[in-house]
Amino acid sequence: MSANHNPSALLLLPPPSAFSFEQVKEAFESSLVDVLTRLSGGSDDSKIALLDIALVLPISPGGKPRAKVFAQLQQYLTSVYSLVGAICATHSIELDTPGGIDTRVVFVDYTHGEPIKASDSPQFGPVLDLPSLANSGRSWDHIFHLSNTLGKDLASAFVQAQSRGDTKARLQAITSNPDWTIPQPLLIPDNQPSKPHSSVIVGGTFDHLHLGHKLLLTAEALALEPLDQEARLIVGVTGDALLVNKKHAEFLEDWEQRWKSTSSFLAAIMDFTPDKSSPEIERSAAPKTVIVKIQPKLTFEFVEISDPFGPTITKENIDVIVVSRETRSGGAAVNEERLKKGWKALTVFEVDVLQSGDAVTTTEDFESKISSTEIRRRRAHLAKV
């Protein structure tokens, strides 16, 4: 293993019995404790261990267009990220810092017992098929699966889906609960009119990228529907000038650091091409903008925000805005301004907030994992020690 190698692992999770935090906790808590503890204990203090969590469940054909199942998928996503944060708070496991774990969650569209088929067209996450995951070329040191029947069946399907290399030596069974019953169907599409979306926007500070940011960015990617035309994710990143009054501002990352870490995370959950090349990067000013071409039909665009609306009122051709439940009023305000300009209103997708339930001892422990302010406060404290 290279001295510069970050420890890495893939965790395969079969469908839960339901997507609520309580049900996800019941199904996966012991398994996640096992994996997170192993990765934390095995990484040296200068490395960040990488953990890809694959949530495997049948999404097609009922989940077409994806907007029809967005609410349920984001609930599942929120529950998993909440559980990761709660476990790490309880067990004093660091996240996204040296000596800690960088966790990324994606969805895998696979139905147990059906033939394993690769998509005819190039895929990008955060929803992909099993062969695309198995043949992504990611060199995980460990591939973890649950030790119950559901987990063993999924591990077997993963091996069958692989057409290159050999993963058997890296497959490891971990602690798990006994099998549970998976409702049929598990995903129930809503009956609201919907269509695929090729351009989605989200905004934020994205300072010291943490689980809350990852949830929001993954939900943005989830709202993007693969089409024949170019798919574009737009991320408004708050400019440095608007952040001077933030608490512990001296420990804020600058705009360049923040867009780069955001882009790196999005690439990790979206680009599963086995033979990657360096992305094409184009920059422009006024407003400061970085365009990153990840694949021929997948582009990230990072725009500096200097006002409450950012690119939502300077770019007409946007389909969707993703907001958290805490900032839903921002989506309404954006649409008011767009309508004043005679533009179409954006479809607003809401994302739940992370919750710890009764899984942690104190709220402060949980907040330390999901708050940029808390991360900066801890760094300020360490600087004084």
The DSSP call for residue 120 is S
**Which pLDDT score, from 0 to 100, does residue 165 have?**
64
User: Can you state the percent helix, strand and coil of the chain, rounding each to 5?
Assistant: 40, 20, 40
Pull the structure tokens for residue 152.
Answer: 């063993």
pLDDT tens string 160-214? 998 866 666 689 999 999 999 999 899 998 887 788 899 999 999 999 999 999 9
User: Residue 126 and residue 30: Cα distance in Å, rounded?
Assistant: 25
- Residue tagged 């422990």 (tokens): 365
pTM over 0.85? The answer is yes
**Which pLDDT score, from 0 to 100, does residue 4 have?**
59
pLDDT tens string 277-322? 889 999 999 899 999 999 989 999 999 999 989 999 999 999 999 9
Q: Does the N-terminal peptide bond of residue 185 adopt cis geometry, omega within 30 degrees of 0?
A: yes
Q: Is the pLDDT of residue 122 over 70?
A: no
Average pLDDT, stretch 65-70? 89
The DSSP call for residue 95 is B
CB 259 within 8 A of CB 290: yes
Closest CA to 148 of 173, 167, 181: 173
DSSP one-letter string for 331-364: HHHHHHHHHHTTPPPPEEEEEPPP--TTSSS-HH
Residue 363's pLDDT band (cuts 50, 70, 90): low
CB 72 within 8 A of CB 24: no
Strands (E), 58-177: 101-109, 127-129, 142-146, 171-174
Q: Does the N-terminal peptide bond of residue 61 adopt cis geometry, omega within 30 degrees of 0?
A: yes
The SS3 assignment for 296 reads coil
- Residue tagged 């996503």 (tokens): 77
Q: CB atoms < 10 A from the CB of 383, how many?
A: 10
Per-residue exposure over 192-224, b if at least 16 CB sit within 10 Å of its own CB, e if not: eebebbbbbbbbbbbbbbbbbbbbbbbbbbbbb
Pull the structure tokens for residue 117.
Answer: 């088929």
Q: Which helix (H) or strand (E) holds 53?
A: strand 49-57
Q: Is the pLDDT of residue 56 over 70?
A: yes
Q: CB atoms < 10 A from the CB of 167, how many?
A: 16
Q: Is the pLDDT of residue 43 over 60?
A: no
User: Residue 320 and residue 351: Cα distance in Å, rounded?
Assistant: 13
User: Residue 199 and residue 13: Cα distance in Å, rounded?
Assistant: 30
**Which pLDDT score, from 0 to 100, does residue 195 have?**
84
